A and B are shown apart, each in its own frame.
Chain A
Amino acid sequence: MRDGLAIRLRGVVKRYGSITAVDGLDLDVPEGTCVGLLGPNGAGKSTTMRLLTAQAIADEGELDVLGCRLPEQSKAARAQCGVAPQLDNLDVTLTVEQNLLVFTHLYRIGRADRRRAIEAALEMANLVDRRHSRVDKLSGGMRRRLLIARALVHHPRLVLLDEPTVGLDPQVRQELWALIDALRAEGTTILMSTHYIEEAERLADTVLIMSHGRAVAVGTPGDLIREHAGRTAVEVYGSPSQLAEAEAKARADGFSTRRTGTSISVLGVDGADGRAPEGERRPANLEDVFVLLTGEEIE
């Protein structure tokens, strides 16, 4: 594997007709780390995930996954990857255990190890008691846990998680975070796409912020915040007209700002005591960086 990278993308371009979904993407996932792919809807995260399993074929660029060149050697790479897709594709009329059994075969686990692999996956996903339940009788959280357990059944070196907690309750989300964190602790390499900032902040060693098919920033969450949003932000509240005024003033004074919907966040106010506007001070966060870099307007 080149330079200890589990995934290495260089200048990857993927077009669908006139739409360029991925537009010259560079991505490094060092082995044993968790990289978060953060971006708004339509930034190209899911397309990137499909490129990594050769379910989409890039128009340009180099793709290496676990030392295999894609798409030619993709099958060897896929054998050592686990994939949990964004859209649930479990076999709903089968039981939890049957779903896992099918995947032990698809991932070529030998007869002698099959039982043990299923047990380990059930335990990891905390589904031991539900092994005989049909999937269509499970809650949304259990289904998502099973979807991840299914991706882990063959002990992959690299796990691709596409929006692992989208549409789940906060409690269920925490459960899944614990599961992903445990996986990280074992040293499994993880690439996780998400548009939940907190998720990336908590789980990812490195975050890559994507917008319009390109990487607009890469780094640890802490570095990204310091670099793009400074340490401290001020929240200015008020009526819409007051907010517009505060925004114009802060920009004139050379600050970056972002709208939160109910307030204006003025970023990078540390060490600018005299000029900083009045308001509620708070530490800058990854969401500030995200909105700053991917734009405030919804397309």
Chain B
Amino acid sequence: MATRAANRIRIGRLERPALTGVLVREVVNFSSYWRSATFSSTVEPTIYLLAFGFGFGSIVSTIGGYDYVEFVGTGTVATAVLFSSAFPAMFGTFVKYTFQRTYDAILAAPVDTEELVTAEALWIATRAGVYGCVPLIVAMCFGLPPSWGMLTVPFIGFLAGYGWASFGIMAAGFAKSIENFSYIISAVLTPLFLLAGTFFPIDTLPQWARVLSQFNPLYHCVQLVRDAVFGFEGWIDLYHLAVIVAFGLLMWRIAIFAMERKLIT
């Protein structure tokens, strides 16, 4: 029986059973903390939506032809995706390898770092795809008309979430201590979050900021979601999609590199 097992288990990269193993662990664990995860991933963007929607909404009624609540409601989808992917990936990964030593147990099983990182990113991306819809649902309660394009939003959220989850895992892989995350949050995530066209259109910003936002994956996510909801615009949306996918692929590979350095000594 033993030799049969040895023959059956081929040495491959990104094997499905290995990914499934890691995903099952996450799903089973999720049953013990889904309340807090769901709370933080949905309440925060909803507060942004309500605060900006009503706060600014009373001053600015329309922006770029959209009702301001609709503008912010579609924009905060990207915020929800970011908050429910980059943050859990950063802190979760760090806690799992430093304090819980979970990854030591997983890597002693027939799972490689590449599979571990991929499965973790897939799981967080799936959650981000779901949580990303919350602002849309809230906005619909405030009058955002439903459209068929909205059905693509969870998939956009998944793709963008995959990139941000990989980004978070990468940050955890390079971090020396959990305090290092303050730099990443203040110097990277906050500016990207504000330069994404979520609360105001970037056309009103100075030239340099507009150029910078072209390199901001969050901006492309905001634009793509808005077009999904209000109507796709052809090539430009394919461009947004391409940037999101490229960001995901790049972050994924760097995250694997960073975690291999950390976990395999």
Q: Would B11 and A106 count as touching, CB distance under 8 A?
A: no
Q: Would B110 and A75 count as touching, CB distance under 8 A?
A: yes
Q: At the interface, yes or no: B20 with Cβ under 8 Å from chain A?
A: yes
Q: Would B25 and A89 count as touching, CB distance under 8 A?
A: no
Given known A16-B265, A79-B110, A107-B110, contact A85–B9 (CB-CB < 8 A): no
Chain B residue contacts of A185, Cβ below 8 A: none
Q: Would A76 and B11 count as touching, CB distance under 8 A?
A: yes
Query: B169 to chain A: closest CB distance in Å?
Result: 18
Q: Would A108 and B101 count as touching, CB distance under 8 A?
A: no
For B109, give its contact among A94, A103, A157 (CB under 8 Å): A103
Q: At the interface, yes or no: B21 with Cβ under 8 Å from chain A?
A: yes
Q: Would A87 and B101 count as touching, CB distance under 8 A?
A: yes
Query: A214 to chain B: closest CB distance in Å?
Result: 20
Query: A131 to chain B: closest CB distance in Å?
Result: 14
For B28, give its contact among A53, A55, A102, A157 (CB under 8 Å): A102
Bound Cα distance from A11 to B120, whole angstroms: 37
* Contact pattern, A 221-254, Cβ under 8 Å of B = 1, otherwise 0: 0000000000000000000000000000000000
For A98, give its contact among B10, B11, B28 (CB under 8 Å): B28
Q: Would B265 and A50 count as touching, CB distance under 8 A?
A: yes
Q: Would A76 and B9 count as touching, CB distance under 8 A?
A: yes
Q: At the interface, yes or no: B106 with Cβ under 8 Å from chain A?
A: yes
Q: Would B107 and A105 count as touching, CB distance under 8 A?
A: no
Q: At the interface, yes or no: A57 with Cβ under 8 Å from chain B?
A: yes
Q: Would B109 and A106 count as touching, CB distance under 8 A?
A: yes
Chain A residue contacts of B106, Cβ below 8 A: 106
Chain A's closest residue to B26 (CB) is A102
Bound Cα distance from A192 to B224, whole angstroms: 56
Chain B residue contacts of A92, Cβ below 8 A: 100
Query: A151 to chain B: closest CB distance in Å?
Result: 9
Chain B's closest residue to A51 (CB) is B265
Q: Would A89 and B101 count as touching, CB distance under 8 A?
A: yes
Query: A124 to chain B: closest CB distance in Å?
Result: 18
Q: At the interface, yes or no: A56 with Cβ under 8 Å from chain B?
A: yes
Chain B residue contacts of A76, Cβ below 8 A: 6, 9-11, 110
Q: Would A80 and B2 count as touching, CB distance under 8 A?
A: yes
Q: At the interface, yes or no: B235 with Cβ under 8 Å from chain A?
A: no
Q: At the interface, yes or no: A260 with Cβ under 8 Å from chain B?
A: no
* Contact pattern, B 170-185, Cβ under 8 Å of A = 1, otherwise 0: 0000000000000000
For A85, give its contact among B22, B108, B264 (CB under 8 Å): B108
Chain A residue contacts of B264, Cβ below 8 A: 54-57
Query: A87 to chain B: closest CB distance in Å?
Result: 6
16 A-B pairs with C-beta separation under 8 A: A55-B108, A56-B264, A72-B11, A78-B108, A79-B9, A80-B2, A81-B108, A83-B105, A85-B101, A85-B104, A85-B105, A85-B108, A102-B24, A106-B25, A108-B21, A108-B110
B residues apposed to A, CB below 8 Å: 2, 5-6, 9-11, 17-18, 20-22, 24-25, 28-29, 32-33, 100-102, 104-112, 263-265
9 closest A-B pairs (Cβ-Cβ)?
A: A106-B21, A89-B101, A83-B108, A79-B110, A106-B109, A105-B24, A93-B32, A105-B21, A89-B105
Known contacts A81-B108, A85-B108; can you find 7 more A-B pairs with CB under 8 A?
A75-B9, A76-B9, A80-B2, A80-B6, A93-B32, A102-B25, A102-B28
